[in-house]
């Protein structure tokens, strides 16, 4: 089975923490971009008869562009690939760019999963990070989504915002938890070159330190799990049966194809990426294209596996030539019960998900 990712690099404004390939662009650029994107899909010629079981229209903010572009993308994909009848088809959205009419069209196009960037329900916090929406718009969006027939809904939240604590975040999640099937809770990263980085340096914003955010994350994880949102990856929590199949593909290293600016692909252990600058993308430049070596495959299996509850298979990497039992740090982590071994499967002890980056880098 195959996954397809389509990148929509447009936003109504740039949030001050965001380093993704997302830009505020004029309508003419958007028109040119979508023409090129559709050509990219139509002209794609890798011989594959794989059936597509997940499509993810991400961004940027796909919900802020004219819905006719989403229609054209969906028909180009349907013409080019065989799509499984029950494929998971997700679109990312911001609360302020959703309305009932738009959501009904998405449903008609076969889109059956909605991922809404909520980040916070505190209007001051939202303003401080440069979001365009407010709390009311989140609840309106959820109401419209239900009315349009969406039952599989994710909300993204940010942990580690200014003036944040466990109780405040828990209360936000509590207000929404009966309306959604999935939460993504990301720890805010201060990315190089962002306005947030500058604001931190100039003390215009004071963020909690990493230890405090990790503690909040751990408590939030416990809260969500008590409410039957099962953690299947560090930042992702889902009701039974509502894990995001598309994201799981990334972590399992299944084949996926990415179309659009900065989109990445993995196909039979070949990785490639599209350019993340419009001019280069329009010239079809591929800044990165590589058939992975065994060493790289092994590292990916360990790194991705330890981020999620599926873990990784010791035997699979032994077959690729690496005997992890000879790694002293790995053995120490097993002895300290930080990594858990069940037969050939190695997983991160869920108690240590908050520091999994350190665990992974100590092994690799
Ligand atoms: C790239 S955005 C796309 C969806 C949509 N544009 C939005 O912002 O809601 C996907 C998610 O990435 C997360 N994200 C973006 N920048 C981040 C950062 N610096 N640290 C942590 N999470 C971030 C946000 O939670 C956001 O909802
Ligand atoms: S709306 Fe989403 S993609 Fe756009 S700038 Fe904000 S976080 Fe980034």
Output the tens digit of pLDDT for each of the chain's 364 residues. 999 999 999 999 999 999 999 999 889 999 999 999 999 999 998 766 789 999 999 999 999 999 999 999 999 999 999 999 999 999 999 999 999 999 999 999 999 999 999 999 999 999 999 999 999 999 999 999 999 999 999 999 999 999 999 999 999 999 999 999 999 999 999 999 999 999 999 999 999 999 999 999 999 999 999 999 999 999 999 999 999 999 999 999 999 999 999 999 999 999 999 999 999 999 999 999 999 999 999 999 999 999 999 999 999 999 999 999 999 999 999 999 999 999 999 999 998 988 888 999 999 8
Ligand nearest to the CA of 118: 1
Domains of the chain by residue range: 2-250, 293-364
CATH classification number, 293-364, choose in 3.40.50, 3.10.590, 3.30.70, 1.10.10: 1.10.10
Query: What CATH number was assigned to the domain covering residues 2-250?
Result: 3.20.20.70
Distance (Å) from CA 63 to ligand 2 centroid: 11
Pocket test for ligand 2, best of 7, 17, 18 (most atoms within 8 A of CB): 18
Q: Where are the beta strands (DSSP E) in the chain?
A: 2-8, 51-59, 82-93, 113-119, 152-159, 182-187, 230-233, 236-238, 256-259, 264-267, 270-273, 288-291, 312-313, 339-342, 345-348
Distance (Å) from CA 226 to ligand 1 centroid: 25
Protein residues with CB under 6 Å of any ligand 2 atom: 11, 14-15, 18, 20, 22, 59-61, 94, 117
Nearest residue (CA) to ligand 1, atom 15: 18
């Amino acid at each position: 089975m195959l996954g397809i990712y389509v990148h929509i690099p447009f936003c109504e404004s740039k949030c001050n923490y965001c380093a993704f390939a997302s830009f505020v662009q004029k309508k003419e650029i958007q028109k040119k971009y979508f023409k090129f994107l559709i050509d990219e899909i139509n002209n794609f010629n890798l011989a594959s008869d794989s059936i597509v079981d997940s499509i993810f229209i991400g961004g940027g903010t796909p919900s802020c562009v004219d819905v006719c572009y989403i229609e054209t993308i969906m028909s180009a994909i349907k013409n080019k690939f065989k799509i499984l009848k029950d494929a998971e088809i997700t679109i990312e959205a911001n609360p302020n760019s959703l309305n009932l009419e738009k959501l009904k069209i998405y449903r008609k196009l076969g889109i059956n999963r909605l991922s809404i960037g909520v980040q916070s329900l505190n209007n001051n916090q939202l303003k401080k990070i440069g979001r365009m929406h407010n709390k009311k718009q989140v609840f309106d969006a959820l109401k419209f989504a239900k009315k349009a027939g969406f039952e599989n809904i994710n909300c993204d939240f940010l942990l580690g915002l200014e003036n944040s604590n466990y109780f405040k975040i828990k209360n936000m999640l509590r207000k929404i938890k009966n309306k959604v099937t999935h939460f993504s809770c990301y720890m805010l990263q201060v990315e190089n070159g962002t306005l947030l980085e500058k604001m931190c340096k100039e003390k215009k914003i004071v963020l909690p330190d990493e230890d405090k955010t990790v503690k909040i994350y751990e408590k939030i994880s416990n809260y969500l799990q008590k409410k039957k949102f099962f953690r299947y990856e560090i930042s992702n929590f889902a009701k039974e049966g509502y894990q995001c199949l598309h994201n799981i593909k990334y972590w399992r290293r299944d084949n996926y194809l990415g179309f659009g600016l900065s989109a990445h692909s993995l196909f039979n252990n070949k990785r490639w990426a599209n350019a993340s600058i419009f001019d280069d993308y329009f010239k079809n430049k591929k800044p990165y294209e590589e058939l992975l070596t065994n060493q790289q495959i092994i590292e990916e299996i360990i790194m991705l596996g330890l981020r999620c509850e599926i873990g990784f298979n010791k035997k699979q990497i032994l077959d690729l030539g690496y005997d992890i039992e000879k790694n002293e740090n790995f053995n120490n982590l097993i002895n300290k019960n930080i990594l858990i071994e069940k037969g050939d499967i190695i997983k991160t002890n869920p108690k240590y998900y908050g520091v999994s980056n350190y665990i992974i880098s100590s092994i690799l």
